[in-house]
Homo-oligomer: A and B are copies of this chain.
């Protein structure tokens, strides 16, 4: 299994923050989770469109370890797993919103794939 190692020391506060919610998958993952109370693994994977199981599982695990998201397993048949933001994770939403608003001001809809720009991120976390 691939697992990213978090460095233990940083030079900059922004580096620390982006180590938690930056990278290839986590920003989008958090934006998607930020719109729902909770989501199942497969539901997240569908909305991420092009992510592999390995990358999704690793991202989810890292975010759990940082206390940003919570995992709840229901041992039904078939098994059901729900992910949701923790209280700490919710404090990221205004931060993501600030970043998103800057991006919207400095980009155009045609730079985006799928429905994410207009239907989701324009009103992110209001």
Contacts and interface: CB of A to CB of B under 8 A. Distances in A.
Nearest to A106: B88
**What number of copies of this chain does the assembly contain?**
2
Contacts of A10: 107, 111-113
Nearest to A27: B14
A100 interface: yes
A55 to B, nearest CB: 14
Nearest to A24: B15
Contact of A107 (B16, B103, B112): B16
A56 interface: no
A78 interface: no
A40 interface: no
A81 interface: no
